[in-house]
């Protein structure tokens, strides 16, 4: 398996522009997570899905952020409009759920720079 | 909600020494405690985990201990090597909130 795939790996954009980050989870995994990592705030959970349904979006910082999972193999995280404080590394992770919690596998991340 | 505290934030040791990283959690409903290693510019990767029905788990040079009463768990690395240098994150899976809460990370530096 190729693991969790994210694109793009790097994104540089100007303030006010729309940014879309993409994620393909590991085939068969039914949980998908979006994290943001910064030096100041560490690793923060933004939102997660179970069977394509958003379960908890309490970590989404504000209305400028939105996430979708139209099918089991694809998810997007959109920022519109982007701001310099959104600069961070965004990780997508997936896991196989069930009665017992299981390991989350992280993607390589997208490094976002908003100028 | 769950809160996970991790100490120390940085740890410097000499090659061959042992390193210990400690975490505490707040919610007794947490029952799964993974540790992730993140090398510079890379993704976090699971190195060891422990469930609440176990007090200790070992995998070669790394071990994790869990004290449910005190709500703390620790990562132990013995015979450290330069390639152990990385940021280590502890986490707690809360069954009530159904989410994994991460600690703030420990930057470990192993000097040759």
A36, pLDDT greater than 80: yes
Q: Does A40 contact chain B (CB < 8 Å)?
A: no
| Mean pLDDT value across chain B | 93
Q: What is the pLDDT of residue A99?
A: 47
Of B14-18, B71-75, B95-99, least confident by mean pLDDT is: B95-99
Other CB atoms within 10 Å distance of the CB of residue B45? 13
B45, B95, B99 ranked by CB distance to A56: nearest = B99
**pLDDT tens sequence across B81-90:** 999 999 999 9
Residue B61: partners with Cβ closer than 8 Å, 6 or more residues away: B77, B78, B79, B80
- A101–B32: do the CB atoms touch at under 8 Å? yes
DSSP code for A25: P
Whether residue B46 contacts residue B91, with contact meaning beta carbons closer than 8 Å, is answered with no
As a whole number, mean pLDDT of residues B49-72 equals: 93
Beta bridge partners of A11: A112
The better pLDDT of the pair B3, A80 is held by: A80
Whether A56 sits inside 8 A of B98 (CB atoms) is yes
B10/B71 Cα distance (integer angstroms):
22
Structure tokens at A41: 């705030």
């Amino acid at each position: 398996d190729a693991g969790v795939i994210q694109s793009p790996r790097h994104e540089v954009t100007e303030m006010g522009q729309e940014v879309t980050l993409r994620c393909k989870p590991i085939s068969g995994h039914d949980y998908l997570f979006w994290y943001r990592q910064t030096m100041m705030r560490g690793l923060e959970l933004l939102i997660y899905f179970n069977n394509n349904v958003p379960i908890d979006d309490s970590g989404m910082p504000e209305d400028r952020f939105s996430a979708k999972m139209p099918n089991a193999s694809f998810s997007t995280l959109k920022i519109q409009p982007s701001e310099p404080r959104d600069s961070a590394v965004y990780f997508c992770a997936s896991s196989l759920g069930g009665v017992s919690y299981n390991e989350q596998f992280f993607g390589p991340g997208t490094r976002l720079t908003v100028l | 909600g769950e809160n996970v505290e991790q100490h120390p934030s940085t740890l410097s040791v000499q090659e061959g020494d042992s390193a210990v990283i400690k975490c505490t959690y707040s919610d007794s409903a947490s029952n799964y405690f993974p540790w992730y290693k993140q090398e510079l510019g890379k993704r976090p990767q699971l190195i060891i985990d422990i469930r609440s029905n176990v007090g200790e788990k070992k995998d070669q040079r790394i071990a994790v201990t869990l004290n449910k009463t005190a709500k703390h768990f620790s990562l132990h690395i013995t015979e450290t090597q330069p390639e152990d240098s990385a940021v280590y994150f502890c986490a707690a899976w809360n069954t009530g909130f159904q989410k994994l809460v991460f600690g703030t990370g420990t930057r470990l530096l192993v000097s040759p």
